[in-house]
Amino acid sequence: MILVFMEVREGKIKKSSFEVLSEGWRRANELGTEVNAVLAGGNVEGLASSTFQYGASRAYVLEHNLLSKYSSSGFAQALFSLVQEIQPGIILLSATAMGKDLAPRLAAKLGVSMASDCTRTEVHDGTFSVVRPIFAGKALATFTFQSSPQIATLRPNVFPLNEPIEKQGEVIRKEVILTEEQIRARVEEILKEEGAELDVTEAEIVVSGGRGMKSPENFGLLKELTSIIPHSAIGASRAAVDSGWIDHQHQVGQTGKTVSPNVYMAFGISGAIQHMAGMASSKYIVAVNKDPEAPIFKVCDFGIVGDLFQVIPSLKEELKIFQRD
Amino acid sequence: MNIFVFVKRVPDTESKIRIAPDGKKIIEEDLNFVLSPFDEYAVEEALQLRATHEGKVTVFSVGTEESLTILKKCLAMGANEAVLLKDDAIETYDGLRTAKIITQALKEKFSDYDLLLFGKQSVGADNAQVPSMVAELLGLPQVNVVTKLEINGANGVAHREIEGALEKASFSLPAVISAQKGLNEPRYETLKGIMMAKRKEIPAVTVQDLGLGEEDLSLNLILMKIESPPPRKAGTIVEGEASETTKKLVNFLREEAKVI
């Protein structure tokens, strides 16, 4: 059995968890087994049945007031008890902030190794394997597992969502036994900026600026683009972040975030190797740079050799015309 | 306050990664190895905490003797002591193995600590596993990907980065914290620090000294192969008036990428 952890934030299951469930369903079919979902939190039962349309046969519900806020130790303990009982062969989580925090704690509790941030899963002759980028994608490594359960986190935005199917499933509540002492680090509150934008790892289109942006004010130009492009977020190169033009949360690259959007648009980014490592798995790359020799032109799908300060306003107009039509 | 920092030696981020003919490892010749960038934030945070809370900073690295260079760098930055946890295995990409070595060292030989600091991940293996695993194996609180840390007596508060927001988490010491960019500005080594680091002895504790046998460290994660990512094909490059090139770009976004 494949067990998929469904992450709930702000009363909703994250899209990336459905991506993982979709992948789990595909592999479960190849392995001749079933995929099941697990939800944990203070009040999550109402969300459980939404997992059936992505292939889950059963949705386990772990509810406890001590799980109403995320804690790695509390969630790991609750999952651990379930895993001990139902013995899944494979456990998959999304490689989100929560998944990256929780999966290794759970793996260590179970005494098994795990694979982080995978971009492919495969079944060959009944054996499950995963492919994960190392060196931020400068190389790809394939792993199999020696121990059970086999645990992997899967990168958001990489695995396709299945078409929802008509499927009946079973919601199973499990008693959770937790004490205050088992909650080791507790989340007191979530600090969210007013009008906080979409995170760069979750965006479908990333509009990114580099050294060529020249000043912090000019990042406002990118903001104008993201305000008219749905599901977009602002990215940045290390040069722009280290110059203090924009917060490091936006940094894409080997010491920033690794992103796989549908389209990555690089403005004034030459394409340093550490930057390209962080965005090379994007489906399409667009580059705008005035230097025709910039290395980014060797990897982009569509490039404009030109002045970004002319291209951006013009692009904005073209997009507006297009949206109006 | 007794602070332990765990660091790793990695190829710098400008490195081109070449794969050995056996497809099982990377070619290390000609690579420039450095202290993993996120570990620098962990070392800096330890030094800043020591400045306000007094105490001692000890830096550990799991690896071969080649890791002595990054331990020297940490000493030159201002750490009081450094210890090599000597493990001659080549990179396994198995976080549990590293976590077991660290945990065993802390249980057997270095049990006096208030805070365990790590980088949020090593640059290279990119696992982001070891801090959480060590926390679990030692039964400690963990806060990962931290951009702000405050310690007050036996308690602490940390800001941890999540998608589009921060989680404010509270915990009691001892605890595991992993550092993210933004936590601080790492200092450079001083000349005096470099001179002092040169004279400093760095003891080595081998995995055998820790009583860890093959069985304890056997790999659960089996590396089948390492390969280069498929090369991207160069696409269309246009030049000219912005009004013309952006029309073509919008067309590309609509017809080919199908995102608008």
CATH number of this structure's domain A205-324? 3.40.50.1220
Instruction: Kindly report the CATH number assigned to the domain that includes residue B34.
Output: 3.40.50.620
Q: ipTM exceeding 0.90?
A: yes
Q: Does domain A2-182 have CATH number 3.40.50.620?
A: yes
Q: pLDDT tens for residues A120-173?
A: 999 999 999 999 999 989 999 999 999 999 999 999 999 999 999 999 999 999
Residue A196: its pLDDT value, please? 64
Inter-chain touch B252–A107, beta carbons under 8 Å: no
* Domain presence at residue B253: no
Residue B195: give the domain boundaries: 2-217
Per CB-CB distance under 8 Å, the chain B contacts of A144 are 221-222, 224
Helix, strand, or coil (residue A143): strand
| DSSP line for B131-180 | HHHHHHHHT--EEEEEEEEEEETTEEEEEEEETTEEEEEEEESSEEEEE-
Residue A33 Cα, gap to closest chain B Cα (Å):
22
**Cβ contact A136–B123 (<8 Å):** yes
Position A199 pLDDT exceeds 80: yes
The token pair that represents B113 in the structure block: 């600590």
Residue contact A147–B220, C-beta within 8 A: yes
Per-residue b or e along A243-273, where b marks 16 or more CB atoms closer than 10 Å to that residue's CB: bebbebbbbbbbbbbbbbbbbbbbbbbbbbb
For residue range B156-204, list pLDDT tens digits in order. Answer: 999 999 998 999 999 999 999 999 999 999 999 999 999 999 999 999 9
CB-CB neighbors (< 8 A) of B168 in chain A = 187-191
CATH 3.40.50.1220 residue spans of chain A: 205-324
Please check whether residue A23 touches B, CB under 8 A.
Answer: no
pLDDT higher than threshold 70 for residue B113? yes
Q: How far apart are the first and last CA of chain A?
A: 49
Q: Residue B177 falls within a domain, yes or no?
A: yes
A242 neighbourhood in chain B, CB within 8 Å: none
- C-beta atoms of A318 and B238 within 8 A: no
Which part of chain A is CATH 3.40.50.620?
Answer: 2-182
Residues of B with CB below 8 A from A188's CB? 157, 168-170
Which residues of chain B are within 8 Å of residue A73 when distances are taken between CB atoms? 135-136, 141-142
> What pLDDT, on the 0 to 100 scale, is given for residue A274?
93
**Could you report the per-residue pLDDT of A88-105, keeping only the tens digit for each?**
999 999 999 999 999 999
Window 111-130 of A: residues touching B by CB (8 A cutoff) are: 111-117, 129
Taking phi over 0 as left and psi of -120 to 50 as alpha, with beta for the rest, B214 belongs to alpha
A86 close contact with B: CB closer than 8 A:
no
Query: What is the distance between the alpha carbons of residues A119 and A244, in angstroms, rounded to a whole number?
Result: 32
Tell me if A27 sits within 8 A of A34, measured CB to CB: no
What is the secondary structure of chain B as a DSSP string?
Answer: -EEEEEE-EEE-TTPPP-B-TTSSSB--TT--EEE-HHHHHHHHHHHHHHHHH--EEEEEEEE-GGGHHHHHHHHHHT-SEEEEEE--PPP---HHHHHHHHHHHHHHT----SEEEEESS-TTT----HHHHHHHHHT--EEEEEEEEEEETTEEEEEEEETTEEEEEEEESSEEEEE-TTS--PPPPPHHHHHHHHH----EEETTTTT--HHHH--SEEEEEEEPPPPPPP-EEEES-HHHHHHHHHHHHHHTS---
User: What is the phi/psi pair of residue B68, to 5°?
Assistant: -60, -35
Contact across the interface for B225 and A133, Cβ inside 8 Å? no
Q: Does pLDDT of B16 surpass 70?
A: yes
Q: What pLDDT shows up at residue A194?
A: 58
Structure tokens at A67: 């799980």
Average pLDDT estimate for A192-214: 88
Query: Which chain A residues are Cβ-neighbours of B142 within 8 angstroms?
Result: 72-73, 101, 105, 184-185
In a domain, B89, yes or no: yes
> Parallel, antiparallel, or unpaired: how do β-strands B175-179 and B115-119 relate?
parallel
Tell me whether A68 touches chain B (CB under 8 Å).
no
Residue B232 lies in a domain: no
User: Which of A261-275, B5-19, B28-42, B215-229 shows the lowest mean pLDDT across its residues?
Assistant: B215-229
Is residue A290's pLDDT more than 80? yes
Task: Assess contact for A130 and A118: CB atoms under 8 A.
Answer: yes
Nearest residue to A76 via CA among A173, A190, A185, A171: A185
A315/B95 CB distance under 8 A: no
Contact yes or no for A315 and B157 at CB 8 A: no
User: Residue A117: closest CA among chain B residues belongs to which residue?
Assistant: B127
% of chain B residues with pLDDT over 90: 92
CB contact under 8 A, B246 and A304: yes
Contact state of A116 with B126 under an 8 Å Cβ cutoff: yes
Residue A93: per-residue pLDDT: 98
